[in-house]
Amino acid sequence: MSHQLVARADEFLAAQPYSILDREPSDWAGDPHDYYSVGNYSWPNPETADGLPYIRIDGQRNPDAWRDRYDKRRYRQTAAAVNTLVQAHLLTGEARYADGAVERLERWFLDPATAMRPNFRHAAALPGEHDGAAIGQIEGTLLTDLLDHVDLLVKAGRFTEGLPRLQNWFAELTHWMRTSELGRQEESMTNNHGVWWDAQVLRYLQFVGDRTALTEILDRFDVRLRHIAAGGALPKELARPDSLLYTMYCLRAFAVCCRVAAAEGRDLWNAPAEPGFGSLRDAFHFWADHATDDRRWIWPRQPEDLDQTALWLADEAAAVYQTPALKALAETLRGQDLPAPEIPSTAAMGHIPT
Domains of the chain from N-terminus onward = 1-181 (1.50.10.100), 189-354 (1.50.10.100)
Q: Which residues of the chain have pLDDT under 70?
A: 1, 350-354
Predicted confidence at residue 260, as pLDDT, reads 98
Contact 205, 170 (CB under 8 A): no
Predicted confidence at residue 304, as pLDDT, reads 84
Alpha-carbon distance 238 to 253, whole Å? 16
CB neighbourhood size of 329 (10 A): 26
Predicted confidence at residue 40, as pLDDT, reads 87
62 Cβ neighbours under 8 A, 6+ residues apart: 38, 40, 41, 42, 43
Predicted confidence at residue 293, as pLDDT, reads 79
Alpha-carbon distance 293 to 296, whole Å? 5
Predicted confidence at residue 351, as pLDDT, reads 43
Q: Please return the burial class of 209, using the count of CB atoms within 10 Å of its CB with bins 0-12, 13-18 and 19+.
A: exposed
In 120-198, the DSSP E strands lie at 122-125
CB neighbourhood size of 242 (10 A): 18
Q: Global pTM?
A: 0.95
Predicted confidence at residue 350, as pLDDT, reads 66
Predicted confidence at residue 26, as pLDDT, reads 78
Helix (H, G, I), strand (E, B) or coil at 47: coil
Predicted confidence at residue 174, as pLDDT, reads 98
Alpha-carbon distance 138 to 197, whole Å? 7
Predicted confidence at residue 352, as pLDDT, reads 43
Predicted confidence at residue 77, as pLDDT, reads 98
H or E stretch covering 38: strand 36-38
Q: Which residues of 285-324 are buried (b: 16+ CB within 10 A; e: fewer)?
A: bbbbbbbbeeeebebebeeeebebbbbbbbbbbbebbeee
Predicted confidence at residue 249, as pLDDT, reads 98
Contact 68, 74 (CB under 8 A): yes
104 Cβ neighbours under 8 A, 6+ residues apart: 17, 18, 78, 81, 82, 85
Alpha-carbon distance 205 to 276, whole Å? 31
Alpha-carbon distance 338 to 335, whole Å? 9
Dihedral, 120, 201, 152, 8 alpha carbons, nearest 10: -40
